[in-house]
């Protein structure tokens, strides 16, 4: 047991975000932390709590008060599963510590158990907050006792176990069955597409449901034999046992809850004991196709250094499985999630009026469209973290940036361009799709693309500046460069908050002043240009100075 605990401690220490000792950076990080906690985490937790509270209240009188929280926990489990696949693959098979752990006289279950626990703890922090908020909403709405509070804390820590255990079992079986695939990177990339496939599958499932409004949702949840809930209870049985333990104040359901979790862990460890060493030993990266020496030599040609540097950035992003999934595939996942939200809203008056307004040049609808495009561009660019991890991803070879004869700002520009191209290309496709769907004119479509690009550019430069303050250059595997990196989270928090304030300000100006939408859109345009200039200047002066100061 002590070996297991020591291993967990050691593994967690490698994913802990770096801390900065300099006092000015400490203050900066405290401010960013404050913004992230009070601007994003707590409002989100509050929102979740309020939604569950609002859904639970009408259900309590019908005797099915637990259904809303139960459905929500299933949703969280599905999310855990979707995002856990990539994490587990990386942690089990592609982290740098494997070469050090495998030669030690340890049993499979000790290595894999500690890796699983470390992944569970480091990956579920945000999930813990959401789970406890949802339970709080339920307990307050249904007037449960102190026993429920204790169970909710217990549930907060243990609910993600089964979804991650499923991921672990699937990963090990894929690795076992993929012996015929020589290059293991290919297997890891497949999980990226698998994640996308699961999300698209959910979208198709939801589209077949024909949309849900709040009344329909409450009606569906009040059905004690809700078919979807029954299916989900079979997939994630732990949710039902935990919620039942809360509702009935009984130990028996708690015992069942502990038993199913124990069973999942036991099955996972048994499979690990049988399979892990076989699949982890001999992970290889195959050599490229053989070419004649003359052909190789004649392939060397002189190009512009910035173009070659740009190609290098793209190749690393596309060839590194953790980056491919979290920086590239994520651009495709977010819009599908938004499409699911759109489908869940169904045909509401707001959407009908909005589309009608766009078709008829209604000023408010046009303004909302422009603001939505700007907000989505900011969200996608911040979420793919290409910019906010641009320096962190250099890791051990960060020194390369410093000893080559290419100015820091030139390198920053190339890194920003990578983020602009990938995020911008995705956004422009979505803008064109929206333009076709909403029948926007060419001028309007071009304007939407420009607003999108300005938003993407601002977040890209701002992200690089944020990363330059304290890049996390020591990481064991590439996933930790993204996940264990405060800068990614802070950049997302600041960008989202700034965009939320901008959009709200623009909309309030429209509503409460006599300014027309065109004037406000021009003001937004100018504001985005100012943000771009500021973020570029931050990179030119502060980020370059930060890079110069870094001792590596």
Partner 1 sequence: MIKFENVTKVYNKTVRAVDDISFNVKGGEIVGFIGPNGSGKTTTMKMLTGIIRADVGKITVNGFNVRKEPIKAKESIGYIADSPDMFLRLKGTEFLDLIGDIYHVPTDKRQKRIKEFAERFELSEALSSQIMSYSHGMRQKIMVIAALMHDPPVWILDEPMVGLDPKSAFELKQMMRDHAKAGNAVFFSTHVLEVAEKLCDRVIIIKKGNILFDGTLEKLESTSKNESLEKIFLELTEK
Q: Per the structure block, which two tokens stand in for 301?
A: 């040609």
Which of residues 183 and 348 has its CB atom nearest to partner 1 in the complex? 183
Which of residues 121 and 316 has its CB atom nearest to partner 1 in the complex? 316
User: Under the criterion CB under 8 A, does residue 143 sit at the interface with partner 1?
Assistant: no
**Which one among 143, 300, 442, 443 touches partner 1, defined by CB under 8 A?**
300
- Residue 227's SS3 state is helix
Are the C-beta atoms of residues 398 and 391 closer than 8 Å to each other? yes
- Shortest distance, position 244 Cβ to partner 1, whole Å: 49
- Residues found in the chain: 552
Q: Per the structure block, which two tokens stand in for 88?
A: 């587990």
**Which one among 1, 24, 225, 301 touches partner 1, defined by CB under 8 A?**
301
Compute the distance between CA of residue 180 and CA of residue 339 in angstroms, rounded to an integer: 37
User: Under the criterion CB under 8 A, does residue 315 sit at the interface with partner 1?
Assistant: yes
User: Under the criterion CB under 8 A, does residue 251 sit at the interface with partner 1?
Assistant: no
Point out which span in 201-209, 238-246, 314-322, 515-523 binds partner 1 (CB under 8 A): 314-322
- Shortest distance, position 303 Cβ to partner 1, whole Å: 5
- Residue 21's SS3 state is coil
Other Cβ atoms closer than 10 A to 432 = 14
Residues 6+ apart with CB under 8 A from 112: 92, 168, 269, 272, 276
Residue 407 main-chain phi, psi, to 5 deg: -60, 155
Q: Supply the Cα-derived Rg of the chain in whole angstroms.
A: 25
Are the C-beta atoms of residues 437 and 342 closer than 8 Å to each other? no
Point out which span in 7-15, 304-312, 425-433, 530-538 binds partner 1 (CB under 8 A): 304-312
Q: At what angle do helices 125-142 and 146-158 cross, to 10 degrees?
A: 160
User: Under the criterion CB under 8 A, does residue 312 sit at the interface with partner 1?
Assistant: yes
User: Under the criterion CB under 8 A, does residue 77 sit at the interface with partner 1?
Assistant: no
User: Under the criterion CB under 8 A, does residue 208 sit at the interface with partner 1?
Assistant: no
User: Under the criterion CB under 8 A, does residue 303 sit at the interface with partner 1?
Assistant: yes
Q: In the 8-state DSSP scheme, what is residue 17?
A: P
User: Under the criterion CB under 8 A, does residue 99 sit at the interface with partner 1?
Assistant: no
Q: At what angle do helices 66-89 and 214-222 cross, to 10 degrees?
A: 100
Point out which span in 150-158, 305-313, 325-333, 460-468 binds partner 1 (CB under 8 A): 305-313
**Which one among 227, 405, 443, 514 touches partner 1, defined by CB under 8 A?**
405
Which of residues 297 and 442 has its CB atom nearest to partner 1 in the complex? 297
Point out which span in 33-41, 220-228, 253-261, 403-411 binds partner 1 (CB under 8 A): 403-411
Kindly compute the dihedral angle of the four CA atoms of residues 293, 299, 302, 307, in this order, to the nearest 10 degrees: -130
Q: In the 8-state DSSP scheme, what is residue 18?
A: P
Give the position of tokens 């956004």.
Answer: 427
Residues in contact with partner 1, counted by CB under 8 A, come to a total of 43
User: Under the criterion CB under 8 A, does residue 552 sit at the interface with partner 1?
Assistant: yes
User: Under the criterion CB under 8 A, does residue 182 sit at the interface with partner 1?
Assistant: no
User: Under the criterion CB under 8 A, does residue 290 sit at the interface with partner 1?
Assistant: yes
Q: Per the structure block, which two tokens stand in for 348?
A: 């509401």
User: Under the criterion CB under 8 A, does residue 443 sit at the interface with partner 1?
Assistant: no
Compute the distance between CA of residue 276 and CA of residue 5 in angstroms, rounded to an integer: 20
Please list every residue from 316 through 345 that binds partner 1, using CB under 8 A: 316, 319-320
User: Under the criterion CB under 8 A, does residue 33 sit at the interface with partner 1?
Assistant: no
Compute the distance between CA of residue 193 and CA of residue 435 in angstroms, rounded to an integer: 27
Which of residues 10 and 545 has its CB atom nearest to partner 1 in the complex? 545
Which of residues 80 and 325 has its CB atom nearest to partner 1 in the complex? 325
Distance of CA 345 to the CA centre of its chain: 22
- Residue 372's SS3 state is helix
Give the position of tokens 């064109």.
Answer: 432
- Shortest distance, position 277 Cβ to partner 1, whole Å: 22
User: Under the criterion CB under 8 A, does residue 23 sit at the interface with partner 1?
Assistant: no
Which of residues 205 and 406 has its CB atom nearest to partner 1 in the complex? 406
**Which one among 1, 287, 341, 442 touches partner 1, defined by CB under 8 A?**
287
**Which one among 17, 33, 211, 305 touches partner 1, defined by CB under 8 A?**
305
Are the C-beta atoms of residues 192 and 325 closer than 8 Å to each other? yes
Classify each residue of 285-320 as buried b or exposed e, where b means 16 or more C-beta atoms within 10 Å of its C-beta: eeeeeeeeeeeeeeeeeeeeeeeebbeebeeebeeb
Please list every residue from 265 through 284 that binds partner 1, using CB under 8 A: 284
Which of residues 34 and 314 has its CB atom nearest to partner 1 in the complex? 314
User: Under the criterion CB under 8 A, does residue 396 sit at the interface with partner 1?
Assistant: yes
Point out which span in 114-122, 203-211, 401-409, 505-513 binds partner 1 (CB under 8 A): 401-409
Which of residues 23 and 349 has its CB atom nearest to partner 1 in the complex? 23
Distance of CA 231 to the CA centre of its chain: 26
Site map 144..173 versus partner 1, x via CB under 8 A: ------------------------------
Compute the distance between CA of residue 17 and CA of residue 33 in angstroms, rounded to an integer: 13
**Which one among 214, 250, 407, 513 touches partner 1, defined by CB under 8 A?**
407
Which of residues 240 and 415 has its CB atom nearest to partner 1 in the complex? 415
Point out which span in 69-77, 263-271, 315-323, 467-475 binds partner 1 (CB under 8 A): 315-323
Judged on CB neighbours under 10 Å (0-12, 13-18, 19+), 18 is middle
Backbone torsion region of residue 356, taken as left when φ is above 0, otherwise alpha when ψ lies between -120 and 50, otherwise beta:
alpha
- Shortest distance, position 302 Cβ to partner 1, whole Å: 5
Which residues sit at the interface with partner 1, rule CB under 8 A? 21, 284-291, 293, 296-305, 307-309, 311-312, 315-316, 319-320, 396-397, 399-400, 402-407, 548-549, 551-552
């Amino acid at each position: 047991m002590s070996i297991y605990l020591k291993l967990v401690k050691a593994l967690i220490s490698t994913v802990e975000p770096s801390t900065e000792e300099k006092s000015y950076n400490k203050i900066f990080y405290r401010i960013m932390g404050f913004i992230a906690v009070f601007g994003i985490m707590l409002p989100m937790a509050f929102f979740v709590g309020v939604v569950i509270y609002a859904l639970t209240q009408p259900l309590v009188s019908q005797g099915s008060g637990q259904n809303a929280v139960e459905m929500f926990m299933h949703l969280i489990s599905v999310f855990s599963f979707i995002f856990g696949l990539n994490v587990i693959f990386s942690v089990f098979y592609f982290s740098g510590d494997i070469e050090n752990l495998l030669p030690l006289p340890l049993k499979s279950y000790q290595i894999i158990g500690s890796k699983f626990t470390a992944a569970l703890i480091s990956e579920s922090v945000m999930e813990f907050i959401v789970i406890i908020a949802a339970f709080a909403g339920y307990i307050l709405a249904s007037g449960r006792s102190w026993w429920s509070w204790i169970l909710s804390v217990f549930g907060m820590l243990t609910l993600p176990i089964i979804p991650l255990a499923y991921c672990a079992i699937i990963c090990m079986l894929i690795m076992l069955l993929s012996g015929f695939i020589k290059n293991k990177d290919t297997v890891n990339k497949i999980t990226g597409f698998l994640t996308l496939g699961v999300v698209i599958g959910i979208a198709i499932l939801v589209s077949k449901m024909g949309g849900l409004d709040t009344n329909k949702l409450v009606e569906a949840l009040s059905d004690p034999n809700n078919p979807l809930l029954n299916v989900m209870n079979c997939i994630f049985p732990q949710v039902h046992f935990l919620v039942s333990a809360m509702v009935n104040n009984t130990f028996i359901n708690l015992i069942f809850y502990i038993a199913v979790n124990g069973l999942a862990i036991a099955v996972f460890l048994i499979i690990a004991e049988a399979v892990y060493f076989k699949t982890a030993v001999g992970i290889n990266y195959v050599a490229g196709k053989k070419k004649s020496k003359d052909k190789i030599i004649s392939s060397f040609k002189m190009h512009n250094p910035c173009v070659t540097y740009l190609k290098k950035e793209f190749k690393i992003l596309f060839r590194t499985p953790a980056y491919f999934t979290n920086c590239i595939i994520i651009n495709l996942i977010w819009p599908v999630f938004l499409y699911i939200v759109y489908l869940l809203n169904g045909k509401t008056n707001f959407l009908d009026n909005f589309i009608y307004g766009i078709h008829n040049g209604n000023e408010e609808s046009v303004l909302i469209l422009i603001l939505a495009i700007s907000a989505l561009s900011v969200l996608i660019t911040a979420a793919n973290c290409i910019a906010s991890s641009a320096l962190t991803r250099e890791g051990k070879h960060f020194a390369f940036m410093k000893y080559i004869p290419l100015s820091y700002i030139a390198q920053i520009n190339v890194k920003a361009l990578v983020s602009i191209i990938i995020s911008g290309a995705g956004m422009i496709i979505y803008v064109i799709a929206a333009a076709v769907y909403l029948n926007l004119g060419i001028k309007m479509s071009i304007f939407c693309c420009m607003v999108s690009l300005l938003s993407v550019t601002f977040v890209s430069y701002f992200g690089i500046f944020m990363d330059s303050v304290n890049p996390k250059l020591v990481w064991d595997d590439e996933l930790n460069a993204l996940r264990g990196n405060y800068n990614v989270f802070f950049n997302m928090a600041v960008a989202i908050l700034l965009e939320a304030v901008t959009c709200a300000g623009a909309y309030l100006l429209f509503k409460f002043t006599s300014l027309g939408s065109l004037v406000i859109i021009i003001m937004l345009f100018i504001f985005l240009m100012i943000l771009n200039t500021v973020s570029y200047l931050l990179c030119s002066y502060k980020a370059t100075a930060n890079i110069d100061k870094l001792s590596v």
